[in-house]
Structure 1
Amino acid sequence: MNLGLDHIRLRNKMLIIFFVSVFTPILLTNIIFYIVTTNHVEDLRMKDINKNIEQMKSEFQIEVEHAISLSSLFYTDFWINKTLSYSYINNEAEYVEAYNSYLRRVLNSSYTPINTLVKEITIYVDNPTLLYSGGVEFISPEVEKAEWYKRIKKSTYSTPILIRTESSFGEKDIFSIVRRMDYYRDQNHVEKVLKIDLRPQAIEQIFSNLNVDGDLYLIEKSKRSVEYTTHPNMEWQYTEIIYDQFNLPKGTIVIKKDFTDDTLLGQWSVIAEIPDIEVFKEVKESSNFVILLASLIIIPPTLVIVWITRSITVRLMLILKHINKVKTQNFEIIPDIKARDEIGQLSIQFNRMTLTIKSLIDDVYKADIQKKNLELQQRQAQLNALHSQINPHFLFNALETIRMRSLMKDEKETANIIQNMAKMLRTSLVWKMDKVTVKQELELIYCFLEIQKYRFEQKLDYHIQIDDAAYDCAIPKMTYLTFIENASIHGIEPLKHGGRIDLKISIEENELVFLLQDNGMGMNKEKLSQLNQYMHSKKDMGDRVGIQNVIYRLKLYYEEQFEMVIASEEGKGTRIQIRLPIDKEMKTLNEHC
């Protein structure tokens, strides 16, 4: 089973082989390789980004934990708590001595350079006997109104709190560790609050280590507020921004990292918004490599197959071209055959076959044609000799002599009839014109009717009515005369008492209408049916004469654009109507007459 391959052109067969055996397997292989490669590159890139974000989160958490550890030192330091809780009424010198001997050293050296994240340490107390300076501040009404102070007052525990506070410039961009210092109970019930401010530059440095273009957000989970972000157009330092209230750009990858619940940052999380182009640009680079590799694999085989296919198909088409020339008896050989493969051998054999056929035609066929032409010439000579004996000019001259002799004998009616017969004979023998005008056709009709009237005398009567515009219309030669002849000979002549023929030729819209009616013998149904069948017959004319010949010629000229209706009743006469188109045929043919 060849699956219909015999009907497929050779070039298309080669293309099928290429696509099935080369292109499709290579394409599928490269698609699979592309998918696997891009997925692998994407996974690696996402792992790198996640690792980088996790590292920044860990660095921030470590720094905050260092600050918390520092707060624990102050929280558990006995001498700090004792010094800040003691009443120095009328004894400021003792406080100055205690401050200079211990507090100054502790407050100024506890965080530099040990913890680079700490900017400033301040202890707020409500002991009015202290001198407030150098890291020790009084809990003033302004402090009590601060959000961080309210937050620590509401807390029932001594655990530290991480909160964003205002700087001296009014920007809320400082992260602070706030903690009650109530580890030691004192008799004076002095309130002490530790506030450790973290350095903004250090936090900015930590969160600027993202190695891709994107924005980082430090989110407080309970309020979903943005506590810090690297987004350049977001003023998080001045207003509270809810993270869920703004729309993400299309094609943004969101990565969320939560801090562990067992730390102070347990209710915080880091969210990274990264454009997918940052992830897929390496994927695109790998895809470009895959495409380049696929092109290098596909293009060379394609060029080789095209080259080989062209070598085959072009030469086959050349052979086919010369075969078609042989069909038209153009025995041209294929020039410059240099190839020695199968197609080259086929071309050589074709040339040999062409030369052999040409030789046979020259030697046998042409000789036979010459012999037949000689026979035809001999027969034509015989016909010409026979034709010379019945030369129409001889007949016309004889009839003209008879007419002149009749006139000399004063037989004018006989002379007129002879003149009509000569005119009809001359017109019927001269076929140089395919079409005549209605006027020229009427001349023959009048000649014929006058001859018939001469034969039957009062037995035949006729009436002809013609529109003036119809005279110059062109019709096939002897179209109407045939029907007049048929009406006279077969319709009126058999009647004993004679009959009448009425002819009317008119123009209706774009049609030339011929209407012929007689009161003669008429036709039976069988004859009428036979004539109607001629209208729908598609057979060649053969030896048809009379009405059949007219119908055949009308079909040749007008195809389906003419109409003929025949109505007849036996003993009552016949009515014939013919409609011919005149939109393209309306012209005067006098130049042919």
Structure 2
Amino acid sequence: MNFIKLLNDIKLRRKLSLTFITVAVVPLLISGIFLTSKLREIMIADTFKQATDNVERVRKRTEEVIKVPLDISYQLSNDNRMKSVASRSYESYIEVIQTYRQYSDIRDYIRLYKEVKGIRLYTPNPTMLNNWEFMQPDEQIEQEEWFKTALGKKGLVGWGLVEDERDQTEYLSLVRKINLNEPGQESVLVINVNTALLNSILSQESFATMIVDDHNNIVATNRPVLYGKNLSEVHSEDRVLTQSDGSFDVDLDGERSKVVISSLIPESSWNGLRIISTFKVSDIVRDANEVIRLATLVIIGCLIIAVMLVHASASLITSRMLRLSKHMSRVGTGSGFWDTYLDLDGKDEIGQLSRQFNALVQRISQLMLEVEESNRQKRLLEQKQNEIKFKMLASQINPHFLFNTLESIRMEAHLRGEEDLAEAVWQLSSLIRNSLEVGNGKIRLSEELNMVRCYLELQKFRYEDRLQYKLEIAQGTENMELPPLMIQPLVENSIIHGLDHKEEGATLIIIRTELGEEGEVYVKIQDNGAGIPTWKTEELQRQLKKQEPEEAQGRIGLRNVHDRLRLTYGTASGLSIESNEGEGTTITFCIPRGNENDVYSNDC
């Protein structure tokens, strides 16, 4: 309500502007922000999927590249000619050179396979010469971690960054121990992988992609400045350094980025490689941001034009409304009332309102002539109303006169010792007073029973010992509310038809209330009077079902009670009559649970 009042206090021009902003601008902004965020999410998701696919493709192609040196290492480990060349004892350098010339398998592998950059076998044979294929390990080589690890892995393959003595360049290399023919002679085979080939594979990727070994040395990358560095120098995120597979979000150089990692562990290897691809979210959404900025400029331009149009339309509307308001003010002040005429063109609501205003002014001028005549009739009506008020006051005096008269009779009977007569007069006075005070609302069961008790006491004064009554009221039902004059007509019916038609013996009337399982209250009026024949009971049931029956004159009958129950509590709360001729009659009705309402939804 406060919001509506505040809205009504705003000028129409501002109200139209606010309406336009609320209806057009705000939804446009919300939808734009929502669609922008969705566009960013879709682009990031597509890019992430592309990066994942790229990493998988790089892993497969890298696996194809390193499979060649892996197969060569298997062939060389079973090459007896190479083992013979490496393990025999030579007498002279000439013999060594001739043997090297005769064994050309290593040179052939390098020449035939572009995946291999170099092959060398480190063997501790002092009679051999170093020809960059068969080499004697010096003390520095023997202390290298890769050399010692290869000797301890019993023929398993290892991958890592190894320096080639020829050009002092580090290559991704396969290292493997090879047992020679002589017992106790162990050699280490090193096969350099063609790094240029790996870099060419990675160069096809649009994101920063690299291959690292198990020591996080970057062995291949599409960013040349990173080659040969350790991954810890580039990324400080622990997951990038340690996680073998998966994808996650990181902050690189203070910007939100995504990382995709896939591991590659070749067959029969004690370690493997990891392919890592990273991309910044800002780089991905850069094109989308350009589109968004362009769309924002277009939207802002359209909004400015729309606001100008709305302002012009609002000004046109408000100017016409102000003219109408001024003419209404003239009518309100009474100046120029008779000759006030408003001329607003247009067939819209404002033009229609102006025409209705002119018609209203003409109608008022006609009504003014009728006011004087109506005033005269109004004064006459007020006189008649005052007469009605006096009559109402007089009607209120009559009951008081009756009660005062009955009280005088009761006191006179009491003074003469006629206690029974005094008691009867008192019961009659109470019964009349309660009946007159009954309104259209509901009363408590205890109040209804007080009227019934007064009525029964009056009847006992008449019938003496032929009439007995008993009240059996269940606990918790005294405060139940019900319409007035529900039980007394039923008790009256028991006396008239049960007692008067009974030839001999006393008649006992029992008024009983019972509390049902679901909170409903059952009221029973039972007598042992003359009873009702079966055919008459059926006739009574038919009369109760009729829509418009004829009610008995001068008293409130069964039909009246039955209809009031059904109208108040529903169709299930009407009267139920059980009677046997010569045995008595029982009339029952039900008050549903929750009887504080006017119409009840609970059936009895």
Q: TM-score, normalised by structure 2?
A: 0.46
Identify the structure with bigger relative contact order (alpha carbons < 8 Å, sequence gap 6+): 1
* Greater radius of gyration (CA): 1
